[in-house]
């Protein structure tokens, strides 16, 4: 592969409805669409999934833009490489900044699969013919959440993830459990508890599928102590920013599950390593979501065709978040299932008319 041009498109869209977590509410979303053009005329697509402010991780749209333009793109431009792992290795000379790296790494993998003329899922060894999709409900009140779960159940989703925090956890989970005694329910705390919080013990009685990221992102030791006490599996999200972080968490016994987000872990290359590690170590693995646009959604679907992704992830229809996505076709979930795309690479086209409508900045790097 010889990348001769990289385009960065900063886009901004309004969500269909605000997404509320214990850390705040998102109602508008910016992102960066990355195009990597190869000498042969093919184009690979990636997406930077950082938010405008550092509420979820430390990266932002602006830090990603700077890293992509000034640091990472120059490492890949005009110096040929034969495999995406080589590109990832070059970028590994740069510390951290996983979401910026992931955007380019995604584009390189898409390009690589397109050069081979096969779906990305096949290139990475994915075998699932159907990808399992759950739904994440980000809403302010328990009444709103119950209404959204009702809709999700009617739409055929078999797993629901809800947001909790110390202020609302027990009433919220109890109300949901009473209404849906048999549903797979996952509670995502986004690090809103401190390690001496007794309320987490009380959550253990509700037969939750998992509790996601209860404690601080750097606190693997306290997560290990908590996992020893709870029968509910702990799933780590924010803590898992690399293969090394995943390995440390597993060695310490900090979790029984990991949600893999391509952006958060630094790219497809790193996501594959974490997937393989989890399978080897008997750690449950599922595909996380970032309220992303269609390019990252398509990458998620390819990733989730791997054998380890045996439970539903945060993969939902584009229409759940966007009036109109930037890709055709959009992602559509049917009865909790997504059919992987069959075309080469990530299998979706960019809807350039839509990109132009929502684009706030475009830069061409050579």
Ligand X SMILES: O=C(O)CCC(=O)c1ccccc1C(=O)O
Residue ranges for the binding site for Mg(2+)?
188, 212, 237
The DSSP bridge partners found for residue 30 are: 12
Provide the 10 A C-beta neighbour count for residue 160: 23
Q: What is the DSSP letter of 67?
A: I
Residue 291 sits in the site that holds ligand X (CB under 6 A): yes
Q: Work out which of 22, 148, 168, 190 binds ligand X, going by CB under 6 A.
A: 190
Q: d(Cα 222, Cα 216) in Å, to the nearest integer?
A: 9
User: If contact means CB under 5 to 8 A according to the sort of partner, which of ligand X, Mg ion, none does residue 325 touch?
Assistant: none
Burial 277-307 (b: 16+ CB within 10 A, else e): bbbeeebbbbbbbbbbbbbbbbbbbbbbbbe
Q: d(Cα 90, Cα 327) in Å, to the nearest integer?
A: 29
Catalytic residue flag (residue 261): yes
State which residue, 98 or 288, has the beta carbon closest to ligand X: 288
Distance of closest approach, residue 278 Cβ to ligand X, in angstroms: 17
The total number of residues written for the chain in this structure: 366
Which residues form the interface with Mg ion (CB under 5 A)? 188, 212, 237
Residues 270-289 interacting with ligand X (rule: CB under 6 A): 288-289
Site track for ligand X across 299-318, x = CB under 6 A = ---------------x-x--
State which residue, 28 or 366, has the beta carbon closest to ligand X: 28
Catalytic residue flag (residue 163): yes
Alpha-carbon distance values, 356 to 268, 322, 323, 359 (Å): 27, 16, 15, 5
CA atoms within 13 A on the CB side of 112: 23
State which residue, 7 or 188, has the beta carbon closest to Mg ion: 188
Residue 188 sits in the site that holds ligand X (CB under 6 A): yes
User: If contact means CB under 5 to 8 A according to the sort of partner, which of ligand X, Mg ion, none does residue 289 touch?
Assistant: ligand X
Instruction: By CB under 6 A, name the binding residues for ligand X.
Output: 56, 136, 188, 190, 237, 288-291, 314, 316
Residues known to be catalytic: 163, 261
């Amino acid at each position: 592969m010889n990348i001769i041009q990289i385009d960065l498109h900063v886009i901004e869209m309004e969500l269909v409805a605000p997404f509320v977590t214990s850390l705040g509410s998102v109602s508008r979303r910016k992102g960066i669409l990355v195009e990597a053009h190869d000498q042969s005329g093919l184009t690979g697509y990636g997406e930077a999934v950082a938010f405008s402010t550092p509420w979820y991780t430390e990266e932002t749209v602006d830090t990603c833009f700077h890293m992509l333009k000034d640091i990472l793109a120059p490492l890949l431009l005009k110096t040929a490489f034969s495999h995406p792992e080589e590109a990832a290795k070059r970028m590994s000379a740069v510390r951290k900044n996983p979401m910026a790296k992931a955007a380019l790494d995604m584009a390189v993998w898409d390009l690589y699969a397109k050069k081979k003329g096969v779906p990305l899922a096949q290139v990475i060894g994915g075998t699932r013919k159907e990808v399992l999709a759950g739904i994440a409900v980000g809403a302010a009140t328990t009444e709103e959440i119950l209404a959204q779960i009702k809709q999700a159940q009617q739409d055929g989703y078999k797993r629901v993830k809800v947001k909790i925090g110390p202020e609302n956890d027990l009433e919220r989970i109890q109300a949901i459990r009473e209404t849906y005694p048999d549903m797979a329910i996952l509670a995502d705390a986004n690090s809103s508890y401190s390690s001496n919080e007794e309320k987490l013990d009380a959550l253990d009685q509700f037969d939750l599928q998992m509790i996601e990221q209860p404690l601080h992102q750097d606190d693997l030791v306290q997560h290990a102590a908590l996992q020893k006490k709870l029968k509910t599996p702990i799933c780590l999200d924010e803590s898992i920013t690399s293969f090394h972080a995943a390995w440390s968490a597993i060695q310490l016994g900090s979790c029984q599950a990991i949600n893999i987000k391509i952006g958060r872990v630094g790219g497809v290359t790193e996501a594959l390593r974490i997937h393989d590690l989890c399978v080897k170590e008997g750690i449950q693995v599922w595909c996380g979501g970032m309220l992303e646009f269609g390019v990252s959604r398509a990458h998620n679907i390819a990733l989730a065709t791997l054998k380890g992704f045996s439970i539903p992830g945060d993969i939902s229809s584009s229409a759940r978040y966007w009036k109109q996505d930037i890709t055709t076709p959009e992602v559509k979930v049917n009865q909790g299932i997504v059919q992987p795309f069959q075309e080469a690479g990530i299998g979706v086209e960019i809807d350039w008319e839509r990109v132009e409508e929502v684009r706030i900045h475009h830069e061409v790097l050579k």
